[in-house]
Amino acid sequence: MSIDWDRRHCARKGHITYAPDELRLRGRLHAGTAVGEVWRCLRCGDFVLGEPHGSGPADQAPLVPRGRALRDLFILRFLAVERILRGLLIVVAAWAVWKFSNSQDAVRKLFEDDLTAFKPVADHFHYDLDHSPVVDSIRKFFDYKKSTLQIVAAALLGYALIEIVEGFGLWWAKRWAEYLTVVATAAFLPLEVYELTEKVSYFKIGTLALNVLAVLYILLGKRLFGLRGGHKAFEAARRGASLLEVQEAAGAVGVEPEPLPVRPRTATETG
Ligand SMILES: [Zn+2]
């Protein structure tokens, strides 16, 4: 991919500059020009006119996600939004089942009416509501007992809450949310495969593919369950990519400051 995530992000959110106390580092991040002082952005590496946004020891500098870390953040936020929307849809489904459990005839009608209302949306995604095993199963609930339906409604609500909690956790880049997403998503993969065996559609294949990719991406990218060195290696890689760390490493081995634009380096490249 040729997208420059750092510049794109800076264009939207603005640059982040920092004046480290260490003079050697300060010299690398700072320059005086005819139009005033410039400080190097910790994210994209461009020199920015004006006062630094913060100052202090280098190890107190804000940990600015850049390069790969920034791309990860973007992908996880996409997954977060997808989770929250799915969660809300399932809340509606849980509410419908609950309502149906209280007055079966009224809700039978409501369900069929709502199904008709959702048809244009479903058609747009090539999702055949009339032949979906899930919808078929819900139709069969018409003959089920009230207590059974209430359990189903509670289960749906529980699932919806997991999805919504996952979504907010992923949005704020919480590690527990990554674990929750991997475990919960993997647990429901068999159900998705089952849906496919009943009736194949592009929408279902797309959902399954997205979920398999999400599990693998988070599992390997975030080094969960101790994979690829685990949490320690993940934090080390993230720190190693921050510009101050790169500058420090460059100074330590006597390398000239990198020409602009700066590419994030990994620890192995500098060592
Ligand atoms: Zn910038």
Gap from CA of 50 to ligand 1 centroid (Å):
13
Gap from CA of 220 to ligand 1 centroid (Å):
28
Gap from CA of 238 to ligand 1 centroid (Å):
17
Strand order of the β-sheet with 30-33 is 30-33, 36-40, 47-49
Reduced DSSP (H G I as helix, E B as strand, rest coil) percent helix, strand, coil of the chain, to 5: 70, 5, 25
What residues have CB less than 8 Å from 208, skipping those under 6 apart? 189, 192, 193, 196
Instruction: Find the helix or strand (DSSP H, E) in which 219 lies.
Output: helix 202-221
pLDDT per residue, tens digit, the chain (271 aa), is 456 888 888 999 899 898 888 888 888 888 888 888 999 888 888 899 999 998 888 878 887 888 778 888 888 999 999 999 989 999 999 998 888 777 666 656 767 777 777 777 777 766 776 677 777 777 676 666 777 788 888 999 999 999 999 999 999 988 899 999 999 999 988 888 888 888 888 888 988 998 999 999 888 888 888 888 888 888 887 777 777 666 666 565 444 445 455 445 444 444 3
Which amino acid, 24? R
Gap from CA of 214 to ligand 1 centroid (Å):
29
| Listed residue (270, 269, 266) closest to 66, CA to CA | 266
Domain ranges of the chain: 5-64+260-270
CA gap 15, 8 in Å, rounded:
11
Question: 120-144 in b/e burial notation, b at 16+ Cβ within 10 A?
Answer: eebeeeebeeeebeebeebeebeeb
Gap from CA of 229 to ligand 1 centroid (Å):
30
DSSP letters, 44-106, are T--EEESS-S-EE-GGGS-----THHHHHHHHHHHHHHHHHHHHHHHHHHHHHHHHHHH-HHH
How does pLDDT run across 143-166, given as a tens digit for each residue?
667 777 888 889 999 999 999 999
CA gap 40, 244 in Å, rounded:
10
Gap from CA of 7 to ligand 1 centroid (Å):
6
Gap from CA of 48 to ligand 1 centroid (Å):
8
Gap from CA of 2 to ligand 1 centroid (Å):
17
How does pLDDT run across 252-269, given as a tens digit for each residue?
544 444 545 544 544 444
Gap from CA of 53 to ligand 1 centroid (Å):
12
Gap from CA of 12 to ligand 1 centroid (Å):
10
Gap from CA of 128 to ligand 1 centroid (Å):
47
The token duo for 129 is 């509501």
* Residues forming beta bridges with residue 56, ordered by sequence position: 20
CA gap 122, 115 in Å, rounded:
9
Q: Other CB atoms closer than 10 Å to residue 24's CB: what's the count? A: 11
Integer angstrom CA distances of residue 29 from 159, 167, 270? 49, 37, 19
